[in-house]
């Protein structure tokens, strides 16, 4: 571990009524570095919070599903009022932690990203089928949480996760992921936030156009290809 490197989560008591929690890093069960957030360490510090109000600031690309779910549930069990704030990114399992707040606030220049659980896998066909089934089950709690706190149907949520969707503050409010947007002045938004938000919106349009091109190519390919039979099919099988 690197000495002197600050953790990417930190509790700060603002006053007698409010504690601020900052989750600013990868959420992992393997503490390779002091910056890594672990649920066990998190719980010890959460139990020491003696204020009635907790504000959770999030800027994280996500990480371990098991650790993130544990942190979500710990925050939900907090004895006082919880507000979660997306300061920049709340991606993957960090977006699930964001859902733990009774009040869920998005900065104007912040983003959520939701997708299905993924992993590295190896083995034979049976092993890989089992891994796929396991991933469906690992993803399920996130779907349940999104469905509980948003105004979307399960099918709509799954479709967003299928597409690894980036969600702007305005979209998050409309979908129910957020309960309010913090309207920062333009001068308060960093150049990086504004540029990033702009790039995501461009990427959404480009992704839509790319999907339309892909579908057109698939249709054209289907028209031109003859099905392979016999030895031709055998020799064209990819391994």
**Cα–Cα distance measured from residue 68 to residue 38, given in angstroms and rounded to the nearest whole number:** 9
CB proximity list for 34: less than 8 A, separation 6 or greater = 1, 2, 3, 5, 6, 7
DSSP, collapsed to helix, strand or coil, labels residue 233 as helix
To the query of whether residue 64 is one of the catalytic residues in this protein, the response is: no
State phi, psi for 151 to the nearest 5 degrees: -110, 25
Query: Could you tell me the CA-to-CA distances from 31 to 8, 127, 206 in Å, in that order?
Result: 12, 28, 38
**Which of 60, 115, 142, 150 is flagged as catalytic?**
115
92 catalytic? Reply is: yes
Among 148, 36, 160, smallest CA distance to 99 is for 148
The residues that bridge with 85 in the sheet, in sequence order, are 57, 105
Spatial distance between the Cα atoms of 118 and 65, rounded to a whole number of angstroms: 10
Nearest to 171 by CA among 162, 185, 181: 181
Spell out the alpha helix ranges (H) of 10-59: 39-46
Catalytic residue chosen out of the listed positions 92, 95, 110, 150: 92
Contact 93, 69 (CB under 8 A): yes
Catalytic residues: 92, 115
């Amino acid at each position: 571990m690197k000495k002197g490197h600050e953790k990417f989560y930190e509790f700060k008591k603002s006053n007698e009524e409010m504690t601020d929690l900052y989750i600013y890093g990868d959420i992992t069960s393997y503490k390779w570095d002091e910056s890594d957030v672990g649920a066990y360490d998190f719980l010890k510090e959460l139990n020491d919070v003696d204020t009635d109000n907790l504000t959770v600031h999030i800027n994280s690309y996500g990480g371990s599903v098991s650790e993130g779910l544990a942190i979500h549930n710990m925050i939900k069990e907090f004895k006082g009022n919880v507000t979660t704030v997306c300061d920049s990114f709340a991606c993957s399992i960090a977006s699930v932690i964001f859902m733990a707040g009774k009040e869920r606030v998005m900065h104007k220049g912040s983003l959520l990203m939701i997708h299905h659980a993924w992993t590295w896998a190896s083995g034979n066909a049976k092993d890989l089928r089992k891994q796929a089934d396991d991933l469906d089950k690992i993803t399920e709690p996130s779907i349940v949480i999104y469905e509980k706190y948003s105004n979307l149907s399960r099918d709509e949520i799954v479709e967003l996760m299928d597409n690894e969707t980036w969600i702007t503050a305005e979209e998050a409010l409309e979908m129910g992921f957020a309960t309010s947007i913090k309207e920062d002045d333009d001068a308060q938004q960093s150049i990086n936030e504004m540029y990033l938000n702009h790039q995501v919106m461009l990427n959404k349009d480009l992704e839509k156009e790319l999907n339309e091109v892909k579908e057109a190519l698939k249709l054209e390919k289907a028209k031109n290809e003859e099905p392979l039979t016999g030895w031709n099919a055998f020799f064209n099988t990819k391994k």
